Amino acid sequence: MNPLKIAVLYGGKSTEHEVSVHSAQTVCRTLISQPERYTVYPIFIDKQKGHWFLQKECGPQTAEDKPITPVLAEHTLAALDGSFQLDVDVFFPVLHGTNGEDGTMQGLLETLDVPYVGCNVLSSAMCMDKDVSKLLVRDIGVPTLPYCLISKDIPYDKEAIEAWASQQGLPVFVKPVRLGSSVGVRKVKVLSQLKPAIEFALQFDTDVMVEKGIDGAREIFCGVYTALDETHVSACGELRSIAGEFFDYDAKYITEGGCETNVPADIPQVTAMQMRADSLKIYQRLHGNGLARVDFLMDKETGKYYFSEINTIPGMSETSLFPQLFEASGRAYTLILDELIQQAQQIHAEKTKLSFNR
């Protein structure tokens, strides 16, 4: 049996570009370690224009990278100069955030009619939008925190927003609606910080969420993925910020020792069981069919928890939460990647059976 040809996509036009490259290096390295099963094509997507490049080795852009393009033809990738073509069996997007995790890349891959790892267009788009996902999660009875929305091109009443924040009780958190990795997020502890926080977040997205905060909240996470008609839910894990007041971008990726991981999380067993059950409900309500990490905020005083967000392409490096969560659950990283690739093939095979004739 010939090895499957896997195109790993990473980088991209996103504020999470560098994180994506880091994640993809682990995915590529893990797949390459099984040469009898996989031939890996590392595909770098540049941050400025979104151009695609075939690399010899997964990593930041180099002068040796070969410009390529996806094509609607017999071959799924081709060099821009026509010097070569590549057949791809499965695409593996490791693109965090905008233009990769939000349904746009999934739409392109659907148009190319190729198997790809991860959630479909609809699920990716809904999960990426914090407003849409919270509305749907609220429908199934999982608690969410109160929030209000502000849009870039619609003037907002500064005094009304401040009054709302005061009524909810500070702190509040200001977040771009469709970004991850805590990019653009600020904690507002006094009202004078609210307007600058909104303006800062609007640099990254056209819509911003002002959400009631839980001061000193515990951040608990569960991993979920589907393989061959079975959905697996990981143990719960906790991340605690050491470097700042909450788990922001610097604590995650820049400050050495900026966060502390605890898997499994030190929470009551009954709470962990309920949180895992809610993670599955959330994943299913948002039509998950690939992989995801579900994030919760827990009040350390009351023990109550609230849905925060869901990531359909979570961090995939050795130190990322998703692999750690499942390692604690007894599922090896290599096995998970194998099963996700098999799931992509199965979903595509089922789609090819659909009729386009009336």
Band of the pLDDT at 178, cuts 50, 70, 90? Answer: very high
Same domain? For 88 and 205 the reply is: no
Same domain? For 31 and 87 the reply is: yes
Give the separation between CA 266 and CA 269, rounded to whole angstroms: 9
Question: Long-range pairs for 130-138 at CB < 8 Å and ≥24 separation?
Answer: 130/175, 130/177, 130/178, 130/209, 130/309, 131/177, 131/207, 131/209, 133/286, 133/309, 133/310, 134/307, 136/285, 136/286, 137/282, 137/285, 137/286, 137/307
Return the residue matching tokens 């690739």.
341
Residue 32 has pLDDT above 70, yes or no: yes
Helix ranges (DSSP H) in 171-268? 194-201, 249
Band of the pLDDT at 255, cuts 50, 70, 90? Answer: very low
Same domain? For 268 and 319 the reply is: yes
DSSP characters over 271-339 = HHHHHHHHHHHHHHHTT--SEEEEEEEE-TTT--EEEEEEESS---STTSHHHHHHHTTT--HHHHHHH
Give the separation between CA 54 and CA 283, rounded to whole angstroms: 33
Residue 250 has pLDDT above 80, yes or no: no
Same domain? For 227 and 269 the reply is: yes
Residue 197 lies in a domain: yes
Of 168, 197, 212, which one is at a domain's C-terminal end? 212
Residue 354 has pLDDT above 80, yes or no: yes
Residue 141 has pLDDT above 80, yes or no: yes
Same domain? For 300 and 225 the reply is: yes
Same domain? For 86 and 192 the reply is: no
Q: How far is CA 334 from CA 2, 28, 154, 337, 340, in A?
A: 19, 11, 47, 5, 10
Q: What mean pLDDT comes out for the span 301-315?
A: 96
Same domain? For 134 and 268 the reply is: yes
| pTM for this model (two decimals) | 0.92
Mutual orientation of helices 269-285 and 130-139 as an angle, nearest 10°? 110
228-245 confidence digits (pLDDT tens) = 889 999 999 998 876 556
Q: What mean pLDDT comes out for the span 88-117?
A: 96
37-90 confidence digits (pLDDT tens) = 999 999 999 999 999 999 999 999 999 999 999 998 878 999 999 999 999 999
Q: Do 79 and 14 form a contact (C-beta atoms < 8 A)?
A: no
CA dihedral 11, 121, 77, 16 (to 10 degrees): 0
Looking at the structure of the chain, the number of domains it has is 3
182-217 confidence digits (pLDDT tens) = 788 999 999 999 999 999 999 999 999 999 999 889
Q: How far is CA 13 from CA 9, 80, 117, in A?
A: 12, 20, 19
> What whole-number percentage of the chain has pLDDT above 70?
95
Structure token pair of residue 226: 């589907």
Output phi, psi for 173, to 5 deg: -115, 135
Of 179, 212, 245, which one is at a domain's C-terminal end? 212
Question: According to the model, what pLDDT value does residue 72 have?
Answer: 86
Give the separation between CA 3 and CA 38, rounded to whole angstroms: 5
